[in-house]
């Protein structure tokens, strides 16, 4: 893998992680505290499974090499793995996160 490929993967992964946290904070502010980290985690895991199934059902369209040397399958699956790890962490341990970007989450009544 080249430095450019690693940089793209790292940047996209950071956007996914920090963007998810921002979405949790925003949703908590707008819709109230319904322990959104766990709900977002479950959604991310489900979405990752859906994407994996789609990629493996359409392997011929994801097997072409891009100009950077990776196949589309490799590029998509790198991000799916990040989403899966983040989603599993949030789903399993989301109620232990006291706040996200200063917004209180999963407060016990």
Residue 68 lies in a domain: yes
What is the rounded distance in angstroms from the CA atom of residue 40 to the CA atom of residue 52? 18
Select from 4, 14, 91, 95 the least CA-distant residue to 48. 91
CA distance linking residue 38 with residue 93, whole number of Å = 7
Per-residue pLDDT of the chain (109 residues; tens, 9 = 90+): 788 888 888 999 999 999 999 999 999 999 999 999 999 999 999 999 999 999 999 999 999 988 878 899 998 999 999 999 999 999 999 999 999 999 999 886 6
The pair phi, psi for residue 102, each rounded to 5°, is: 85, 0
pLDDT at 109: 65
When divided into structural domains, the chain yields a total of 1
pLDDT score for 30: 96
First to last CA, the chain: 49
Whole-number pLDDT of residue 38: 94
The predicted model scores a pTM of 0.88
Whether residue 109 lies inside any domain: the answer is no
Q: Which domain holds residue 41?
A: 3-104
Question: Residue 32 domain-assigned?
Answer: yes
């Amino acid at each position: 893998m080249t430095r450019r490929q690693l940089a793209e993967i790292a940047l996209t992964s950071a956007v996914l992680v920090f963007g998810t946290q921002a979405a949790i904070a925003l949703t908590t502010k707008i819709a109230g505290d319904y322990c959104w980290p766990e709900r977002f985690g479950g959604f991310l895991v489900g979405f990752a499974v859906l994407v994996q199934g789609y990629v493996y059902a359409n392997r011929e369209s994801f097997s072409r090499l891009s100009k950077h040397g990776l196949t589309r399958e490799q590029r998509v699956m790198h991000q799916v793995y990040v989403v899966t790890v983040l989603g599993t962490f949030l789903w399993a341990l989301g109620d232990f996160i006291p706040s996200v970007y200063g917004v209180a989450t999963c407060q016990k009544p």
